[in-house]
Structure 1
Amino acid sequence: MASGSPALDDIDRLILSTLQDEGRITNVELARRAGLTAPPCLRRVRSLEESGVIDSYHAKLEPRALGYGITVFAMVSLKSQAEEDLRNFESHIASLPLVRECHMLNGEIDFILKIVARDLQHFQDFLTSHLTTIPNVESVKTSLTIRTAKSLPGVPVDLDEED
């Protein structure tokens, strides 16, 4: 476990795993699965929230059902990697709703972005009018997702499981 992380027992891990898989589960059902009564289960959940182990709750939406037919990964290289330039790029990316993820990388590429769009023309318009025009962007290489073989939210809860 990472330094500074709270010590988690088996019940905490079961609670976390269940909430990660079934975020809408009731506290009563969660308590039943954890072998607790509802009040101590709720106290554990609140403690996990307060310690930052549980960061947020959200619904996983189906992109196609909302008209987003394609997912593209864009590898962005910047002209300058000065901290101010990196922060300016990240700030600009944060304002673009079609960019769903932004990760700074070590190596030849500075950032990888996960972008959704209605179709290829919509993405091309976004690329030429919103991404390549960002100050300090040197190049953008894109890869269109053909299919997704695995997409799991969150992280493995039990680090002793097979990697």
Structure 2
Amino acid sequence: MEKLDHIDLAILKTLQENGRISNADLADRIGLSASSCSRRLDILEKSGVISGYHARVSHKALDYKMIVIVHISLSGQFAKTLAEFEAAVKRVPNVLVCYLMSGEYDYILRIACKDLEDYERIHRDWLSALPHVVKINSSFALREIIDRPNLAASLGS
């Protein structure tokens, strides 16, 4: 994929504001013909710039009122150790995000929980059982200030 131009960025920004917009309305809003807009969308999708279309569901609406940021240290950073941890953490149902990190901790997780007791259960039943974990440090989010799901919406502003 070549570098994104201002039209591609406008398409991405518009789709992030309204992922259900019709191709005709998107083309009209961007100032393209419907066929040109459709071709650009196809390129953005096939190149992986657009990785999917998703409904963004509030975790609070599902009674998950707590977000916990968990820092994890492993016994080492050998390829096998990392692969085993990553395979196991993908099975933890409450993990929203997992990052391999540089620095003091090996991984950072973002976990949705119903309450403190729910996190205690997740910690006991899932996190403590993950392979190669030697340290778990948990921080509880007090308030969400910003949750920007996509970067392109803020580009070109």
State the TM bucket, normalised to the shorter chain: over 0.9
**Deviations, residues 7-44 of structure 1 (Å, cap 9, x unaligned):** 22221110011112221111111101110121211111
Q: Which residue identity is paired with 1:40?
A: S
Cα distance in 1 between the residues matched to 2:72 and 2:3:
38
Quick one: which of 21, 31, 35 aligns to 1:39? 35
Q: Name the counterpart of 1:131.
A: 127
Cα distance in 2 between the residues matched to 1:107 and 1:74:
15
Q: Which residue identity is paired with 1:108?
A: E
Q: Name the counterpart of 2:103.
A: 107
- Contact 1:85/1:136 (CA < 8 Å) preserved in 2? yes
Q: Name the counterpart of 1:16.
A: 12
Q: Give the TM-score normalised by structure 1.
A: 0.91
Q: Name the counterpart of 1:26.
A: 22
Cα distance in 2 between the residues matched to 1:159 and 1:61:
24
**Higher-RCO chain (CA-CA 8 Å, sequence separation at least 6):** 2
RMSD: 1.4
Q: Give runs of ≥4 in structure 1 deviating > 3 Å.
A: 156-161
Structure 2 unaligned blocks of 5 or more:
none
Matched, 1:71 2:67: yes
- Contact 1:6/1:51 (CA < 8 Å) preserved in 2? no
- Contact 1:68/1:118 (CA < 8 Å) preserved in 2? yes
Q: How has the CA–CA distance of structure 1 residues 158 and 68 changed in structure 2, closer, same or farther, with 3 Å as cutoff?
A: closer
Shift of 1:53: 1.0
- Contact 1:77/1:138 (CA < 8 Å) preserved in 2? yes
Cα distance in 2 between the residues matched to 1:141 and 1:78:
12
Structure 1 unaligned blocks of 5 or more:
none
Shift of 1:51: 1.1
Written as runs of structure 1 = structure 2, the 5 A alignment for 1:120-159 is 120-156=116-152
**Deviations, residues 124-163 of structure 1 (Å, cap 9, x unaligned):** 11101110121210010000110001111111367565xx
Cα distance in 2 between the residues matched to 1:80 and 1:33:
52
- Contact 1:76/1:141 (CA < 8 Å) preserved in 2? yes
SS at the partner of 2:117?
Answer: helix
Shift of 1:58: 0.6
Q: Name the counterpart of 1:55.
A: 51
Give the length in aligned residue pairs.
Answer: 157
Cα distance in 1 between the residues matched to 2:70 and 2:91:
16
SS at the partner of 2:126?
Answer: helix
